[in-house]
Structure 1
Amino acid sequence: MINYKFLLLYFLVLLESSVMAQKITSNAKLIGSIVYDAEDKGSVTVGNLSIGKFYRFSREPDTTYKDEYPNNWSDGAKLTDEVLNTGPELNTAQYVGWKGTRDLEITVDLGRIQSLEKLNVNGMASVQLNAQEPVGAAVFVKQEKNGKWVLFAKQSFANNKASTGNKPFSIEVGGPAMKARFVKVVLKPSSIGGKSGLILLDELSLLGKIKNTWRSVPAEGCFHGAFPTSVGYSKEELAGRKGMVVDLFEKQVGKQLSMVLWYQGMAKGRGFLEIQKHRENHLKKDYNGVRHLSIGWLPKELKPLATGGYDEFFTNYFKDSVDPTILKGMNEPIWIRPMNEFNGGWVPYGLDPITFKKAWRRMYNIAEQLGAASHHIFVWSPNYLSFPDKDWNKMEKYYPGDQYVDWVGISSYPPGKKAAKSEDMRYPIENIKEAYEKYAHYKPFMISEGGFSDDIDPVRWVREWFEFKTKRPNVKAVIWENHNDRVISRSPEALELYRKMVQDKYWLAN
């Protein structure tokens, strides 16, 4: 007798296996039971490839017009700092200048391979200083450090010496798009001024297409994450434990976590080994899959990060973070979230967009040089609303550039009634709307921390939290901040709903 139920089940299993195989064979990855998107899925955006990037020059600049903040991989930062002078004023601090008639070479490291389309060089001609425009420019590219230089484009220019006063100039060199990580710009000075002539440069822009990263993104579903502190549990449950209690949270909500948040001070003396011990002691115990780790990395100051005061700290940290002898086979990436909620006045590194971007880029560039940027995932994470909510403090003012951000995160908490623009904004769906609409259509997007407060409906908050599945489907990770008045056990009704809704396989756990 034919067992039709068995046959139907058999064909359904075959169909599901076929679908899974198609996902895996299309450059996707299977880790545990989670299928990850192909890393080449990231979109392409147009922009300035060289903003904040490290570069070297072939000869030292004049001491009056020297570069700023060199480090082990860079001769300075002025020429890619985004600050462009468009008027006739000559601010010595803004320019880098070279005397003489020898060709000047500036080599920019883009950090990873991008698509170059055009070069812009901005500077100043000055009669008083005998500063003149270059009369020629050539651009060479290569993809590997030890590769051979290939000509991208070259061009000659008229000797447009300033007739009186100061005259800003901009020269452009373009050609067919070429893939490059390293770009060498060769500028030929004018010979009219002789050895005393100057090239005064303001900004060097390499324009082209930026390939956005798309790493460790679930093909379907959303990472189920939490900040699992010891707050909210009885003495009997804790049995003397403090700090991270992953197992207690998982038992409480009835599902394993696929992402765990922890915090670390960005301070000298607190290195990567501290984080590695957390991974070894807490994230692997009694667990057969992968619990990804997200780090909230918090400094107590900002300017020294931008000006080189933390270079040695970053160097040691990122070296350790990719050292096989330290990782001991734990090679999955870490979601590194530096300086979050920078658009709020409650953090010591906030409310300074220009310095923040310089600090972020410098940190990320060092990570690139050491292989950490390609191994880990850097999460740029503003608060859901800027405080103060002014144009100069909008979250996008702090954005360092697509080439510096792997994922975008958001802190999602209920604003006070006075700050809320509507009652709906006090709940998740509307709360994350601004950041979601700006970034989630082309960057992997996550709730990097969030939860209810004591003056809203906790059941509604939890319901909307899980409605991201249908109403904010580009959210790829959620992290419940189980701390202070946000512990899920504070509301038995909210906890019961959480336990019920998280069972949907959409909320990923291996």
Structure 2
Amino acid sequence: MSKGGVNTISWHINNPFTGGDAWDTTPGSLASVLPNGSKHELFKNWLDKAAVFLNSLKSDDGKSIPVLYRPYHELTGNWFWWCQNNGTPEQFKELWVFSFNYLKSKGVHNLIYVFNTADFETYEDFEKFYPGDQYVDIVSFDAYQYDDPATSTAYVDKCRKQFKIMNEFAFKHNKIMAFAETGFEQIPYENWWTDTLIKAIGNYKISYVLVWRNHGWLEHEQKMHYYAPYKGQSTEKDFKKFYELPNTFFQKEITEQNIYQ
């Protein structure tokens, strides 16, 4: 906040039903945390701890720091316990609304709520799990590059299709959009930033785009795991060109805007 930027948080919350991690999709997990569910009280306890942390985020002058909060992300996937394969749209909406109201009751008022999906084919697919305008500030989706952009346009085509749908939804619901997660692991395509990512976004007006983490060496997979270039990485020059594009906006520019005044 002191630099004029905006922080974002996603929470790979463990599975309260089993004690496993976020990727434990045991049937019944989502239902277990809802009111009257077997793990509802445990889930509330976890939200209590989250509220303490979120309320502790203060600037030097004591003001609450705004945070882009993306709960239950990639909900249209099938890899997290809160995803669409583990609950009905009504159950997901109930989970979202309960969490929103519970954190609010604990004095948490500094969150910018980001509704987030993975793949979707139609407007109805995107809308199906939407909890309501009063509970959402930003709409978004996640999409990654997995094939070779030199020979395939699949990533660009999918993103443009989903942006078109989401843009229609955002306009109707008076929401802003984001590309909340994307990237190409190890970025092996030299011009990925200016030849692929910028094409995927097109002319759609998004509030931000986030590439995934630079973790480094993954021991269990025996490989490097990163999505943003570093000095000497093969896309370093192309990323600088991306930075210099007139339609990109980085920390330097946002600091000059003095958005917290």
TM-score (norm 1): 0.36
- Is the 2:194–2:239 contact (alpha carbons within 8 Å) kept by the matching residues of 1? yes
Q: Is the CA contact 1:407–1:445 (under 8 Å) kept in the aligned structure 2?
A: yes
Aligned pairs (5 A) from 1:86-101? none
By how many angstroms is 1:444 displaced?
1.6
Contact 1:336/1:376 (8 A) holds in 2: yes
Match among 207, 212, 216 for residue 476 of structure 1: 207
**Cα distance, 1:305 vs structure 2:** 3.0
Aligned to 2:23: none
Asked whether 1:315 is paired with 2:43, we answer no
Q: Is the 8 A contact 1:378 1:407 kept in 2?
A: yes
Question: Quick one: which amino acid aligns to residue 183 of structure 2?
Answer: G
| Aligned AA (1:476) | S
Q: Equivalent residue for 1:304?
A: 32
Q: What amino acid maps onto 1:304 in structure 2? A: S
Q: 1:405 to 1:391 in 2, by over 3 A?
A: closer
Counterpart in the other structure of 1:68: none
Task: Give the match for residue 333 of structure 1.
Answer: 66
Question: Greater share of strand residues, 1 or 2?
Answer: 1
Q: Matched residue pairs, number?
A: 213
Aligned to 2:19: none
Deviations 1:461-498 (A, max 9, x none): 543434578611x2011112243253435995532111
Answering whether residue 132 of structure 2 is matched by residue 401 of structure 1, we say yes
Amino acid at match of 2:250: L
Shift of 1:409: 2.2
String of CA shifts for 1:170-229, please: whole Å, max 9, x gaps. Answer: xxxxxxxxxxxxxxxxxxxxxxxxxxxxxxxxxxxxxxxxxxxxxxxxxxxxxxxxxxxx
Greater helix share, structure number: 2
Letter in 2 for 1:433: F
Q: For residues 185-224 of structure 1, what are the structure 2 equivalents within 5 Å?
A: none
| 1:405 Cα deviation from its structure 2 partner | 0.5
Deviations 1:130-172 (A, max 9, x none): xxxxxxxxxxxxxxxxxxxxxxxxxxxxxxxxxxxxxxxxxxx
Larger Rg: 1
Aligned CA-pair RMSD: 3.6
Residue 144 of structure 2 corresponds to 413
| CA apart distance, 1:406 | 1.0
2:96 pairs with one of 360, 367, 371:
360
Aligned to 1:477, the other structure's residue is in SS state: strand
The equivalent of 2:249 in structure 1 is: 507
What TM-score comes out, normalization by structure 2 length?
0.66
Equivalent residue for 1:427, pick from 156, 181, 188: 156
2:239 is aligned to 498
Alignment of 1:20-169 (within 5 A): none
String of CA shifts for 1:365-414, please: whole Å, max 9, x gaps: 11232342x4211111111x14xx6999x332211111111111221212
Q: Give the distance between the partners of 2:231 and 2:161, measured in 1 at CA.
A: 21
Residue aligning to 1:450: 182
Moved over 6 A (4+): 389-392
Contact 1:300–1:349, Cα closer than 8 Å, also in 2 = no
Look up the match of 1:370.
Answer: 106
Q: Which runs of 5+ in 1 are unaligned?
A: 1-283, 418-422
2:157 matches 1:436: no
Alpha-carbon distance in structure 1 between the residues aligned to 2:127 and 2:165: 9
Q: 1:357 to 1:460 in 2, by over 3 A?
A: same
Indicate if the aligned counterparts of 1:452 and 1:461 stay in contact, CA closer than 8 A.
Answer: no
Question: Could you say what secondary structure the match of 1:488 adopts?
Answer: coil
**Which residue pairs with 1:295 in the alignment?**
9
